[in-house]
Amino acid sequence: MHVNPRPASDGPIEPLLFSTRALSPRDQFDAWRSFMAPAITLDVDGMRQAPFGADQTVWDVGSFALTRAAMPNDGRVRNWTHLRKNALDHWCFVVVDDDASTSRGLFFRSLGERFEGTASDTGVLSLYLPRELFDDGLSRIDGTTAVPDQGIGALLADYFVSLERRLPEIPRSELPQVVEATRAMIAACVQPSRDRLDMAQGAIVATLMERARVVVRQNFGAPGFGPDQLAHALGVSRSRLYRLFEPHGGVARYVHRQRMLAAHAALSDAADARSIGRIAEAFGFGDASGFSRGFKQQFGYSPSEARVAGLARAPARTLPQRRHSSETAEFAAILQRLAA
């Protein structure tokens, strides 16, 4: 696949997209196995010829690569190995992020070390990066297979998920800052120290805010949800919570705005047939008239006007996927050229 070079200021990066779904079912797993071959050797329990509809998105950030795999929930166990010294010798952080799971698992491995495992996950986020991004102080993590899921280490999986969500909007000119923030965040979470925590403060705050956004959205229907519940969910003190939300006008204002934004999205969705009152109630607004006044104050128009505009809006276009004749070669090339 030929990709024309573009200047650094020419918008955000575009991901490499790979899918087995257009292939014959008997060829799907072998195609997936070939695509993953630059990183791991993959096999599956049961017949390889059984259907294996799966998708992979690869973000080439320059000094690291972030990938999202969506695999079928078919009950088969996948066996993967990198048993010999891998020429890439990269580190790989893996976030198990299934849609049905309420918690994330974060694991680490070195592609240059002997390792084998089994899994049947349907959603996996992987970050590949060269060890040269870090100083010798992190060399000891090669023997680690799991990152602590409490304290500062618990933020790392959230950071990776937040990074994936934001990459489509980040200009190419800002990728060096993304690389530095990612490097600092990994160093601070894997082996915390005062200096590393100080260097990662920007990424830590951004990750806490992303986690707060998720927690608030999970509690839209709970009218009593407030600072105490949010502080507990984030694992921070009330004083830290208030400092965190000071630039956003405080916790209450932030929660109110997030509820309003979600209600606006529902009203703008032509497929959402709920009444305005039901939508208001679903997002924690018990008083319909108060919701309407607050909505108009927030957006400058009424909920009914937002609904009419949503019904009139044309369906969003779906972007065409790239042809997958050479995605495997491009994925291999991305991993090969990772450099600090």
3-class secondary structure, 70 = strand
Q: What is the pLDDT of residue 13?
A: 86
Instruction: Supply the DSSP symbol for 139.
Output: G
pLDDT in tens, 61-115: 988 899 999 999 888 888 888 755 556 668 888 888 775 444 567 888 877 777 7
Q: Say if 87 falls within a structural domain.
A: yes
Q: Which of 165, 184, 209 is the last residue of a domain?
A: 209
95 and 203 within one domain = yes
Q: What is the pLDDT of residue 103?
A: 54
Q: Say if 4 falls within a structural domain.
A: no
Q: What is the pLDDT of residue 326?
A: 65
242 and 191 within one domain = no
194 and 79 within one domain = yes
179 and 44 within one domain = yes
Q: What is the pLDDT of residue 323?
A: 45
Q: b or e along 288-320 (b: 16 or more beta carbons within 10 Å of the residue's beta carbon)?
A: beebbebbeeebeeebeebbeebeeeeeeeeee
36 and 70 within one domain = yes
Q: What is the pLDDT of residue 7?
A: 45
228 and 147 within one domain = no
171 and 296 within one domain = no
- What range defines the domain where residue 249 resides? 222-312
Query: How would DSSP label each residue in 229-257?
Result: HHHHHHT--HHHHHHHHGGGT-HHHHHHH
Strands (E), the chain: 16-19, 41-44, 55-60, 65-70, 78-82, 90-96, 105-110, 115-119, 123-130
Tally the domains of the chain. Answer: 2
Integer distance in angstroms from the first to the last C-alpha of the chain? 25
202 and 255 within one domain = no
For the chain, which ranges sit under pLDDT 70? 1-10, 83-89, 99-104, 135-153, 191-194, 196-200, 312-327, 339-340
188 and 59 within one domain = yes
Q: What is the pLDDT of residue 225?
A: 83
Q: What is the pLDDT of residue 250?
A: 87
Q: What is the pLDDT of residue 159?
A: 87
Q: What is the pLDDT of residue 315?
A: 43
- Structural contact between residues 263 and 283, judged by C-beta atoms closer than 8 angstroms: yes
- Three-state SS for 51-64 is CCCCEEEEEECCCC
Q: What is the pLDDT of residue 58?
A: 93
How far apart CA 71 and CA 53 sit, in angstroms, is 7
Q: Say if 330 falls within a structural domain.
A: no
Q: Say if 333 falls within a structural domain.
A: no
Q: Say if 276 falls within a structural domain.
A: yes
Q: Say if 337 falls within a structural domain.
A: no
